[in-house]
Amino acid sequence: MTESRTPKENGVGHIFIDEEKLQDRVREMAAEISQDYRDKHPVIISVLKGAFYFVADITRLLTVPIHIDFLGIGQMPGVSRDTGIVRITKDLEISIARRHVIMVEDVIDTGLTLAYLLQNLTPRRPESLHVCVLLDNPRRRLVELPIKYRGFEAPDEFLVGYGLDYQEDYRHLPYIAHFETKS
């Protein structure tokens, strides 16, 4: 999604989830994961870059031993938007064979990209493979996904902050806000 406008011509709109509510829900999710994986030593996989802040916060709150790894993805021009097919730009560095795996994502809309990534991970023989997502938009879902942990339901609007960006800007905001394009 490339636009010709610069960030100075666009702006952060009203706050969708403030910092306190965001951190409260992250704490709740970390407690759920800690309980569910208390004897399992899971591998947390974060999809770069959007989930970076979320995975950093949630993993610091976990009370179970974990390993963390990252997947980097890039769009395939003219293909990614309609199919969810992406190219992996950074693969895992640790083996997930016979390990309990939690894929951490920032936002799930259609689910096509995440389904593609899960399809890529399944042949690696994880013991279990679940999804933890900060923002879920089930109204746009085109495929079923094993979502075990959901932070918030997302609106059909563009959001920025807490890892979510507009042309690489606004990731650093400690809250999530609507992003408004000024006419």
Domain boundaries, the chain: 15-175
The predicted-structure confidence for 31-61, as pLDDT tens digits, reads as follows 999 999 999 999 999 998 999 999 999 999 9
Predicted confidence (pLDDT) at residue 174 exceeds the cutoff of 70:
yes
CA angle 118, 123, 125 (to 5 degrees): 100
For residue 75, what pLDDT is reported? 74
pTM for the structure as a whole: 0.87
Torsion of CA 157, 159, 165, 170, to 10 degrees: 140
Q: How many CB atoms lie within 10 A of CB 85?
A: 13
Dist CA 80 CA 78 (whole Å)? 6
The predicted-structure confidence for 99-115, as pLDDT tens digits, reads as follows 999 999 999 999 998 99
Highest averaged pLDDT of the listed ranges 41-45, 115-119, 155-159: 41-45
Is CATH 3.40.50.2020 what the domain over 15-175 is classified as, yes or no?
A: yes
Catalytic residues: 109
For residue 83, what pLDDT is reported? 57
Helix (H, G, I), strand (E, B) or coil at 44: strand
